[in-house]
Chains A and B, each alone.
Chain A
């Protein structure tokens, strides 16, 4: 029990970010028209590609002799980039078509 409290105290700023971000996410999306559901889902999909930052750190930290870490990290960076780049490009393509209609 003691350690759990210590952990919370140690990470309290992160925990604040989590709590506030949860409410922010709800507020930001709250009144979105159904027309935009698909692009929004796709845009959010691209944003969680931030996980790529973790992949870059893993890759950059790996010792040059540790092949498992190098290979897995390499794969992780590729997958993360796919998520980010693919996600943003697909979203842009969808939204581009909405714009043309003016």
Chain B
């Protein structure tokens, strides 16, 4: 027992070691005046900026706006990605019909869509949600299709031999069989949605974390830029951890 506690403390130290070393080198260099604070402010001034931004509400307001945009686009991407993915995964015809166009659209990075999205939607909310949707949709779709293609044909045969009704077959055989891949799609989809929201806000927005960064850059507020970036990173990590947790709880059989 003692041994195990000891070991897990060790793991935790390893987990944080690199981050803490970087922070300490950074602090020492700032203290000794080696850093130009316009280019890289000291860790303590970044901490002060965090406190200020939290106090005046700018950080959480913008974070909340970005997160809620992501959730809208992501929800659409997951809904359509999973349902279309199941249809394409089950039907060889649909697979062949859609394959070319999916393979062609998929490599276009969401950022390259931004000009077109602005022309179509203007700079309102719907354009951003659409962009986020694009960012997640293809990743999710492709993973779901793969997952269904990889289901064990022997298990499908069992379900068939029992004359399982269509919807029951989908719910108890097809979806759980593809679930590990569906979750992979959902996780990579979410992180790509999160990257898209920042990209969209950088270009055309007056709110959100992307805007916070871009706005601070114009006034040379390097500390705010860094705080904004850190927040983007931390929120992304938290969302991924949350999904991993849900995945672990859901895929108990693995």
| Mutual binders A and B | no
